[in-house]
C-alpha cells in the first residue's frame, strides 16, 4: 500500500483547523529510523532536523516511529545507572585503540 494517504486534522498558524493528507507507509523507513535516532541522541544537523520536520508533516509511520523511539529512550534513561569506568580499564582500552 505504498503511497496510501489518510488525513489528520491540525490547527494551522491562523488558528483554523486544516486537514493534511498523510502517507500510511514510508518508502525510506530504515533511513528515517536512523535520522530519528540521530535527532533523539542530539547528533543531527539542523538540515537533518528540518528535513525530518518537513517529512513528518506527510508521513504517519514516521510520526509513530518517532514517538515510539522517544518513549523507549526516555524509559531506558530512567532505568540505566551511569557509573564511571575505572581508570585502569579506560587506560587498557585506550592502549588497544592506539595500537
| Cα separation, 87 vs 42, whole angstroms | 27
pLDDT tens per residue across span 14-55: 445 555 667 788 888 899 999 999 999 999 999 999 998 999
Residue 99's pLDDT band (cuts 50, 70, 90): confident
Decide: pTM greater than 0.95: no
Distance, in Å, from the CA atom of 55 to the CA atom of 98, rounded to the nearest integer, reads 41
44 close to 38: Cβ distance less than 8 angstroms: yes
pLDDT (tens digit, 9 = 90+) per residue, 46-98? Answer: 999 999 899 988 899 999 999 999 999 999 887 877 778 889 998 999 999 98
Amino acid at each position: 500500500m505504498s503511497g496510501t494517504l489518510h488525513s489528520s486534522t491540525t490547527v494551522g498558524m491562523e488558528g483554523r483547523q486544516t486537514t493534511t493528507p498523510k502517507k500510511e507507509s514510508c518508502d525510506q523507513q530504515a533511513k528515517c529510523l536512523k535520522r530519528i535516532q540521530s535527532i533523539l541522541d542530539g547528533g543531527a544537523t539542523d538540515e537533518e532536523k528540518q528535513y525530518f520536520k518537513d517529512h513528518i508533516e506527510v508521513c504517519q509511520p514516521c510520526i509513530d516511529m518517532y514517538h515510539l523511539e522517544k518513549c523507549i529512550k526516555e524509559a531506558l534513561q530512567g532505568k540505566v545507572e551511569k557509573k564511571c569506568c575505572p581508570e585502569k580499564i579506560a587506560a587498557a582500552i585506550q592502549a588497544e585503540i592506539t595500537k
